[in-house]
Amino acid sequence: MPENSSLYLAATIELERAVTWLTEANAQRRAPDRLLMPALFLRAVTHGLRDVPELNAPTTDDHGRLTGAVHLGVVVMKRTGASVVAVLPDAERRSVDDLMKVLRELVRRARSDQLRVADLREPTFTVTNLGSLGVQAVFPSIGPSLVGAVGFGKVVEQPTAAGGVVVCGPVVTATLAADHTVGSHRGARFLATIDRVLQRPEAL
């Protein structure tokens, strides 16, 4: 485990409903409108940050007033092995569809070295999704001047027990890294919110 003054909390989140909803939604959609799980994760993160705003680094407007804006830094792995944090601005105001489109474009630009200056602005929170590398849990590091970061691992099939019955279904491990001043209680609430909203994907 990393040794610093950060707090690390992990939760296993069942994705049966989210996967089913995605499959059904995408069957009705044209390719440019299709969704992928990372867009649901990003939307869930904005819900989590709304419930626990202490995790989002504060931003101010031109008059020095707090804005509450969420600029999500998305860690994009390039094929060379290097990674870049590309920023998805004002994520708290975006729908799942909008987040998906912006994410798809951002990743395309990052991997073809076409990022714009605005894509490299300062994020207020970062998200790492290493599922495609086969990693089950990610322990993210907190960027300079940030308060927290969340990592999502690979979506895997795993048995879970509910009501005395063992069932197999897709799950993901979400790991929160936060400055210790945030406290375990708030950190746990952030992960609980992500879990809760992913159980109702149609309402995301």
Contact residues: another protein, CB under 8 A:
23, 26-27, 30-32, 34, 36-38, 79-80, 103-104, 107-108, 111-113, 132
- Return the closest-CA partner of residue 96 out of 167, 43, 152: 43
- Return the closest-CA partner of residue 141 out of 173, 186, 187, 178: 178
Number of residues that this document lists for the chain = 204
**Minimum CB distance to another protein, residue 105 (Å):** 9
Extract the tokens encoding 23. Answer: 């499959």
Number of Cβ atoms within 10 Å of the Cβ of 138: 23
Cβ proximity to another protein, 76 vs 204, nearer residue: 76
**Minimum CB distance to another protein, residue 153 (Å):** 14
Which residues are registered as beta bridge partners of 173?
12
Extract the tokens encoding 60. Answer: 């101010």
Number of Cβ atoms within 10 Å of the Cβ of 155: 18
Cβ proximity to another protein, 30 vs 63, nearer residue: 30
Cβ proximity to another protein, 1 vs 27, nearer residue: 27
Cβ proximity to another protein, 111 vs 196, nearer residue: 111
**Minimum CB distance to another protein, residue 25 (Å):** 11
**Minimum CB distance to another protein, residue 86 (Å):** 12
